[in-house]
Structures are given as structure tokens and as C-alpha cells.
Amino acid sequence: MTTYVLIPGACHGAWCFDDLAAALRDRGHQVLALTLTGVAERAHLAHAGVNLDTHITDVLAALAVEPDAEDLVLVGHSYGGMVITGVADRIPEKVDALVYLDALVPYDGESCWHLVNDEERQWYVNVDHTGYGVPPLPFFDPRATAHPLASLLQPIRLTGDLNRFRRRDFVYALNWPGDSPLRLCYERVKGDPNWTVHELGGRHNLMRDNPDDLLRILLDAGRR
């Protein structure tokens, strides 16, 4: 049995993984899918101080009370790549592998702002009436809510290298509507022999657009 920890991207809740989580559980695995502070069904907790550290702490706190939180496969979609990188850096002894689903792969001192393209940055600063909420894009799930701006601007602080983990997978979505804001991260890892890189047909929401291939990749990443 493998324990998968699923972290959603900006504006989304754990529900974006419902079908994927069910498929993993049907195959005998344990799944922990989390909604981050200030987003989706936890939108009532949003305030100007919710940042990347808040979201990393969300995951660490959830794992602290899980009795079988060992040999974890951390899976981050989009912004969730920032979160799983921070979590893995803080509890490396508990992490076996990381899977970046069309996600950000930061180095120490980088933020989402550093890693994406100008179009994505313009979205970040087009905040809602609160002054700190980044509204969901039109093609997002209808359940999506605003995302805390500070989490997209805060640089991550890392003490170690991702190569210390057994396996790192990057899954790149080929059918973005326009230039992919994840291109820099994809190009960062695609020629690195320490990474397993996949290119999948589908838009950014690969959980919806290519669930079968995505399930196969996760099952393979979890095999030790």
C-alpha cells in the first residue's frame, strides 16, 4: 500500500481529485487529499496573511496526525507544486516520491511569480474587491474560489535538494489555451536524468482531461 497526498492548485479544493482518489483507493492505496486554507470550502478562512507557509503548514499538520504517514508520494497540481516542495523539504524522512502535475517546481528563493509567464502574472495582480483574493479563471471548475495572493508572491525557503528523494515525476499538459505558464518548469526538468517527464494530451486539469494516463503514472511512481 502506498500513501498518496494530493494537493490542489490555485482556487481549487480537494474535490478536484475525487475521481483520481477513488481510483487509487480502489487499488488498495491510502489517499489524503487536502483543501488549503482560504480556498474552496475553506474560503471563509481567507485573509491577507494567508501565504505559502500557511499552506505548507496545512499539509504538515494533517500528516502529523496520520499514523501511517511514511514513504509518502506527494502529488501537487499547478500551485500545489510549491506546497509539496516545501513539505518535502521539511519532512524528507517521510517522503518517498514527488509528482508534479503540470505544476511549479521551485528552487530556493523562488515564488510562483518568478516561475510563470507575464500572462499569469497579470492574472495574479487582477485581485478581487478584498485586495488579496485572486479570482478563478473562466475555465476553472465552477466550485473554484479566489486564491490568496500572498501565497503566489512569497518566495519558498528550501534547505535541501529534490534529488534526495527516490523519484520525481513531472507531468506536462500539452493543450493549454495559449502559452503554458508551466513551460519554464517543464524545460527545467525535461533534460534532467534524475526526473521522469511525461507529456499528456489535455488541458491543465489533467485529472479531468486524461484520468487514465494520470492514474497509470501515479501508480508507477508509487512502486518501490
Report, as residue numbers or ranges, the catalytic residues.
78
Q: Which residues contact 3 (CB under 8 A, 6 or more apart)?
A: 29, 30, 31, 32, 66, 68, 69, 70, 71, 72, 73
CA dihedral 7, 108, 120, 62 (to 10 degrees): 20
Q: Which of 39, 48, 31 is nearest to 78 (CA)?
A: 39
Residue 97, φ and ψ in degrees, nearest 5: -150, 160
Instruction: Report in angstroms the alpha-carbon separations of 68 from 76, 78, 149.
Output: 20, 26, 33
Helix (H) or strand (E) holding 179: none
C-alpha cell belonging to residue 130: 478584498
